[in-house]
Amino acid sequence: MKVVLFVCLIAVAFARPDGDAEVLRDEREDQGDGNFRYTFETSNGILQETVGTPGSEGQSNVVGSYRFTDPDGNVVEVRYTADEEGFRPESDAIPQPPPIPEFVYELLAIAEQQRSSGVRFDDQGFEI
C-alpha cells in the first residue's frame, strides 16, 4: 500500500498545478484480502490505474500506470510493477544509461582469465 501512495504522490508532484481540475472518474474496489483495483482521472490529464493482488510474502503485488502532463506540455506515462522483486517502472520518460562500451567486456574477460589462471593482485594493483 505504501508503494501505491508513493506512486500517487509522484504523479501529483509532477503534474502541472491546476486549481480548477475536476475529478472525472474515481472507481475503487477493495475486497479486503489484498485484491484491489482503482482508477481515477482528472480534467487536467492525470490518470492513475492500479490493480493489486496478494503477494507470496504477505505484501500486495501491484501493477499499474499513471499519466500526467509535464511542465513542458508533454504527456508522460509510466507503467509499473511492484512485487517481491521491488518497484519496476517503465517509461520513455525515464532516462536510460548509455550502452556499455565493448572494451569493458574485453577487460572483464581478461580479469576472468587472470582469476582462473591464479593471478592475484595486491591492494595497490600490483601482481603478487
End-to-end CA distance of the chain: give it in Å, rounded: 53
Which one-letter DSSP state was computed for residue 121? B
66 closest CA partner among 76, 57, 56, 74: 76
Quick one: pLDDT at residue 58? 81
Q: What is the pLDDT of residues 30-69, one digit of tens each?
A: 988 889 999 999 999 999 999 999 988 888 899 999 999 9
Quick one: pLDDT at residue 59? 84
Q: What is the pLDDT of residues 2-13, one digit of tens each?
A: 555 555 555 555
The lowest-confidence range among 18-22, 26-30, 84-88 is 18-22
* d(C-alpha 33, C-alpha 63), whole Å: 16
Q: Position of cell 472507481? A: 27
Which one-letter DSSP state was computed for residue 25? E
Q: Are 67 and 47 in contact (CB under 8 A)?
A: yes
Pairing mode, strands 75-83 and 23-30: unpaired
Pairing mode, strands 36-42 and 60-69: unpaired
* d(C-alpha 70, C-alpha 100), whole Å: 30
Quick one: pLDDT at residue 11? 56
The grid coordinates listed for 73 are 506540455
pLDDT band at 27 (very low <50, low <70, confident <90, very high): very high
Residue 77 vs residue 4, higher pLDDT: 77
77 forms beta bridges with 67
